[in-house]
Amino acid sequence: MAHYDLHMPVFEEQVRALRINDTVTLHGTLYGIRDATQIHMFDRGRKPRFDLKGHAVIHTAPNVRKVDKSAEFPAGYAPVCIGTTTSDRMERFTRPLMKQYGVRFIIGKGGMREGSAQSFADIGGAYLAVIGGTAALETTWIEAIEDVDMDDLKPESLWKFRLKGFCPLLVAMDSHGGSLYTAVKANSQARRAQALASLGVAVK
Amino acid sequence: MKIDPQQVEDAARELYIRAVKLLPPDIKQGFAGLVKRETDATAQGVLGTMLVNIQVAEDTDNLLCQDTGIPIYNVRIGRNVELDGFAMKQAIRKGCERATREHPLRSSVVHPVTRKNEHSSCGRHVPVIHIDFCSDEELLEIEMIPKGSGSENNSFLKMAIPADGVDAIKTFVIDCVLEAGGKTCPPTIVGVGVGGTADLCVHLSKVAATRALGSRCSDREGAKLEEALTEAGNMLGVGPQGLGGDSTAFAVHVETAATHITMNPVAVNMQCHSARRARATFRPAGLEYGY
């Protein structure tokens, strides 16, 4: 288990070095993306104006306050509360995000499926887990909302965040086929019979 | 006791904001209990981060979670309360909308077909408003629950058959916890509805999931199930955030209703670890906020 400080964007070798259970702190830029953002990008052909190559995207739709544009609030938005949503719903977008846009990291909660694991292995990417429901804490890791695109989808716009140091993120799926979720799921399935036996249910 | 709709509107506004910021004491106690029993190091780390978050939310007067949820208001009206019910429902809606625009809070509510967001946390039939009556004389109680989607997306109903008996109920609950894995933001409160019609069964599961920790099902058979299912559910090792550990659920809560001779329905609805809830109690002496 190692800790990595990564300044975004990153190259493939930096991602390939990561293994499950490593921890990561991200510096620089992070993009916020959500269901509607990706539905519009991949099903309706909208092209974002940001270059996502080598970057990390976080599954989020933040609480924001509209303010006048200034050096402190370059996009005209003050962050109120920025957290993470369940990643599983956005499973089908992992490969196109990586293939078409060069995204290297997906940050979210709850993990992703086999298709994402395969994309991480094929193209060189990783899933970084943030603790879901800890948005007040996550908000303190963000310096500013630097820019925003596809803002008609608010709060599911494409957000560009400037980070103070986004941590602690756990490498939960790596580019070598490792997945903490698969391991936990297999273990839980194995314990199903024991749980049912404790309830007096005979397993068929 | 006479209630003015303006009081209800102001309370509905205040309740939404309180609910998303302050975690009820019973949930905090629930965390303390899990931390004491948890044997997995990763899980201890995850629980620790959740506790830090609760503190940061209080210190910075911020939202616990970014998900402002689908707003639910549960109203209980005593026997000697004079109010215009129609105006009260409108006032709740207005208060919910004001909280969203004035704080501001993220409106998480869209039309189900067009996906259009009115940025008011309101829409057709939302906020969800449930109205019930109680035997107290001069009492009006409004409970507000911002129900997060990560947990709500893991809602399940099975119309089991009588021949499968209570074993079908138990097996279904265990399999739902397995299926949900980390997607519900565990540790959760697993709400189980047993009996009724299909819709009542699902409703009961929501009542169970949003009940205070430490409360018991008032039906003895339901209470027995709660105890056994809580223990069994935590044997699965899903753990906080689905990353493994003993702390899969704070508790399994059960609510029951009579059902048809040919039916054996069971529903599961889950509440995430940010089990938010706020309560306004109107009495002749005045208005009080709590959990």
> With contacts defined as CB-CB under 8 Å, which chain A residues touch B47?
none
> With contacts defined as CB-CB under 8 Å, which chain A residues touch B174?
192, 195-196, 199
Could A188 and B233 be called an inter-chain contact, meaning their C-beta atoms sit closer than 8 Å? no
Fold of A3-179: fumarase (3.20.130)
Could B46 and A131 be called an inter-chain contact, meaning their C-beta atoms sit closer than 8 Å? yes
- B197, B163 contact by CB (below 8 A): no
Which pLDDT tens digit goes with each residue over A105-138?
999 999 999 999 999 999 999 999 999 999 999 9
Q: Which of B153, B174, B244 sits opposite A187 (nearest CB)?
A: B244
Determine the distance in angstroms separating the CA of B64 from the nearest CA of chain A, rounded to an integer: 5
Q: Which of B46, B57, B106 sits opposite A61 (nearest CB)?
A: B106
With CA atoms as reference, the chain A residue closest to B244 would be A184
With CA atoms as reference, the chain B residue closest to A201 would be B167
> For residue B182, which of A96, A167, A110, A139 has the smallest C-alpha distance?
A110
Residue A145: pLDDT band (50, 70, 90) is: very high
Instruction: Dig out the tokens for B17 from the structure.
Output: 């904001």
> With contacts defined as CB-CB under 8 Å, which chain A residues touch B150?
85-86, 109-110, 132
Q: Where do runs of H (alpha helix) occur along chain A?
A: 12-16, 35-42, 94-101, 114-119, 135-139, 180-198
pLDDT means per 10 residues, chain B with 291 residues, are 97 98 98 98 96 97 97 98 97 98 97 97 98 97 97 97 97 98 97 98 98 98 98 97 97 98 98 98 97 97
Could A184 and B242 be called an inter-chain contact, meaning their C-beta atoms sit closer than 8 Å? yes
Which pLDDT tens digit goes with each residue over A170-203?
999 999 999 999 999 999 999 999 999 999 998 7
- The predicted pLDDT at position B126 comes to 98
**Phi, psi dihedral angles at A105 (to 5 degrees):** -125, 140
> With contacts defined as CB-CB under 8 Å, which chain A residues touch B50?
131, 133-134
Residue A168: pLDDT band (50, 70, 90) is: confident
Could B243 and A140 be called an inter-chain contact, meaning their C-beta atoms sit closer than 8 Å? no
Containing H/E element for A163? Answer: strand A158-163
> With contacts defined as CB-CB under 8 Å, which chain B residues touch A107?
none
Q: Round the average pLDDT of chain A to a whole number and report it.
A: 96
Which pLDDT tens digit goes with each residue over A62-92?
999 999 999 999 999 999 999 999 999 999 9
In this prediction the pTM is 0.95
Put simply, whether A61 touches B (Cβ < 8 Å) is: yes
Could B181 and A191 be called an inter-chain contact, meaning their C-beta atoms sit closer than 8 Å? no
Determine the distance in angstroms separating the CA of B184 from the nearest CA of chain A, rounded to an integer: 8
> What are the DSSP E strand ranges found in B29-185?
70-77, 128-133, 140-147, 156-160
Cβ neighbours, 10 Å, residue B91: 23
Q: Which of B62, B171, B235 sits opposite A191 (nearest CB)?
A: B235
What whole-number distance in Å separates Cα of residue A149 and Cα of residue B44?
Answer: 38
- The predicted pLDDT at position B62 comes to 97
- The predicted pLDDT at position A53 comes to 98
- The predicted pLDDT at position A204 comes to 67
Put simply, whether A99 touches B (Cβ < 8 Å) is: no
> With contacts defined as CB-CB under 8 Å, which chain B residues touch A63?
63, 66, 68, 104-106
With CA atoms as reference, the chain A residue closest to B62 would be A136
Determine the distance in angstroms separating the CA of A103 from the nearest CA of chain B, rounded to an integer: 23
What whole-number distance in Å separates Cα of residue B84 and Cα of residue B4?
Answer: 8
Residue A167: pLDDT band (50, 70, 90) is: confident
**How, if at all, do strands A23-27 and A3-7 pair?**
parallel
A203 DSSP 8-state letter: P
